[in-house]
Amino acid sequence: MPGAYKSSSFFAIIFQNPYKLISTIKAFAMIIIPAIDLKDGKCVRLRKGQMDSSTIFNEDPAAQARTWEDMGALRIHVVDLDGSVGGRPVNLPTVKEIASAVKIPVQLGGGIRAADTIRMYIDLGVNTAILGTVAARDPEKVKGLISEFPARVAIGIDARSGIVAVEGWTESAGLRATDLAAQFADCPPVAFIYTDIDRDGMMRGPNIKATEDFARSAPAPVILSGGVTTLADVERALALENLGVMGIIIGRALYEGSIDLREAITLAGSENAR
C-alpha cells in the first residue's frame, strides 16, 4: 500500500509490528541515514559502484559510526562492499566493531544470502539485514527469509536505467526494479532500499523521478539512495514522503562536506512539521 508509510522512529515501530503503521507513523519525520561503505576494513566511497574508484574517508569505521550517532543520526547504513562482490561476508570484524560502537540501529548489506548469515549478524548486533543479489536471483528463498526473520529483512534494489544490477553491481539481472519489487507484494520486506547506480557517489543529485516511479508501485516503504549532494536534494527527496519514501541515505556528500548531517536532520524534521 504505497503512500501509507512515514517515518523516523518508523523503524522502532515497524520492527515491533510491521503491519500496525498508519495511525502512529504520521507524527514522525523522514529519517536521514548516513552511510558507511566498507572495503578492506576501511570506510570508503565508490563512484557508480566501481571497486577501483574507492576513496578512503576513515581508517576507523567504528569511530565514524560514533561520529554520525553523536551528530544525531537515528540509524546507520553499512555496506560490506567486498562481501557484495564475493557473495559472502568479508568485513565481519569491522561490522562487529560498528555494531558494538553505537546504540542506534545498524542496517547492513553486502554478501548476505542465507539464514545463517542473517542470524550471525543479528547476534552481532545488526538490526536489519539487507538482501540484494539473492532477492533478484531467488525471490521465493527471500520470502522464506522474510518470514523466518520478521521485521529484520530489507531488500536492496540497485538499478541502472531502471534495470536491476546484482553481484556488487557487476552484472545485470535482466529485470526492471519495479517488477522485482512487485514479486514481494504477498510477503513484503521491512523496506526497500532503492539505489540509482548512475547517481551513486557522483555528487550530482538523486534520481527523483525514478525513485518516485519505484515508490508508487512498491509494496513496502522505500529508502532513497544515490546522488544526494546538497540540502536542496534532501528537500526534493522529502517531497516523496507521501508516496512511502521514508528514508534518505547520504554518503559522499557527508564526507566531503557538501551536506551537514545535523542540518539535514533538522530540515527533515521541519518539513514534516509543516
Active site residues: 37, 158
Cell of 17: 509490528
Q: Is the separation of the CB atoms in 215 and 2 below 8 Å?
A: yes
Q: Is the separation of the CB atoms in 230 and 260 below 8 Å?
A: no
Do the strands 222-225 and 245-250 form a parallel or antiparallel pair, or are they unpaired? parallel
Separation of alpha carbons 65 and 89, rounded Å: 19
Amino acid at 36: I
Residue 210 CB contacts under 8 Å (≥ 6 apart), including other chains? 159, 162, 194, 196
Cell of 37: 561503505
Q: Is the separation of the CB atoms in 82 and 90 below 8 Å?
A: yes
Cell of 261: 548531517
CA angle, 46 then 50 then 56, to 5°: 30
Separation of alpha carbons 171 and 26, rounded Å: 39
Burial class (CB in 10 A: 0-12, 13-18, 19+), 17: exposed
34 beta partners: 250
